[in-house]
Structure 1
Amino acid sequence: MRRESLALDTAFDLCRNRRRRALLTLLADRDRQVTVQDLAKDLAVRERDGPITEVPGEIVTEIHTMLYHVHLPKLSAAKVVDYDHERGHVALTSRGTELEATLRAIGELEPPT
């Protein structure tokens, strides 16, 4: 049985957003199920380039809200993540792993800024 691959337009749409790209990388680096709250904190730390103690709580809340209502449902609909919104758990699927690996490869081609 052949696994269904992600349509190119869908992949481009999913990767168009900087926060979704970072989210895929974080999930791949963790390689396990994580909570939305932990992802929000990790993204805040990454975006602010500092420890969580220096990130205002409202930033983490804003990121959590966007993950919960926008980014995770979109990634879940494309079967890139398994997202249990009631329990607040997220895990990368094999399709998500492939997409994230492609993103890393593209990033290696990009000259440093």
Structure 2
Amino acid sequence: MVGTTTEFNTLLELCHEQHRRIVLAVLASEERSLTVNDLTKAIIKHNHHTSPMEVSKEESRTIRISLQHVHIPKLEDLSLVNYDTERQLVEPTSQFDQLEPQLSAIIDADPGLEPPVALWDRSA
């Protein structure tokens, strides 16, 4: 549970960027470790409302780089995820589990994200 105004403001700031909201929502929904590639596909699905195959390689690369150099490190700095750079694997932590109800409430307020926010379905 968020105990102070500072902690709550930190969560709000963390959720300010839509790519991070999507990452947090997918991690909460899937309840397991995900690859950067999985998260890239989820962002494409929800930000572009299309399949990853219909987005240019450059756009996909830009999203992946922003995840690796901006968004995942920010989540890792707050101990919400552990990031294995060699395996490109993002793992939610116990801190993530503790804050998930508050994060979910913030994410659910985003009118641009249609629940459930999940990984791209290859059969769709």
TM-score range, shorter chain: 0.7 to 0.9
Aligned positions, number: 110
Shift, 1:111, TM fit: 9.0
SS for the counterpart of 1:82 is strand
1:28 maps to which residue? Answer: 28
Gaps of 5+ in 1: none
Higher relative contact order (CA 8 A, sep 6+): 2
- Once the two structures are TM-superposed, the CA of residue 14 in structure 1 deviates from its matched residue by 1.0
> Structure 1 residue 87: deviation in Å?
2.0
TM-score relative to the length of structure 1: 0.80
- C-alpha displacement of 1:36: 0.7
The Cα offsets for residues 52-104 of structure 1, whole Å up to 9 and x where unpaired, read as 22122211111100000001011001001111123211011232234342233
Residues 1:14 and 2:11 are matched in the alignment: no
- Give identity over the alignment, percent: 35
- Does structure 2 retain, via aligned residues, the 8 Å contact 1:5–1:95? no
Counterpart mapping for 1:1-113 below 5 A: 7-106=7-106, 108=108, 110=109
The structure 1 segments of at least 4 consecutive aligned residues displaced by more than 6 Å after TM superposition are 3-6
Q: Which has the higher helix share?
A: 1
For 2:9, the aligned partner's letter is D
Q: What amino acid maps onto 2:66 in structure 1?
A: M
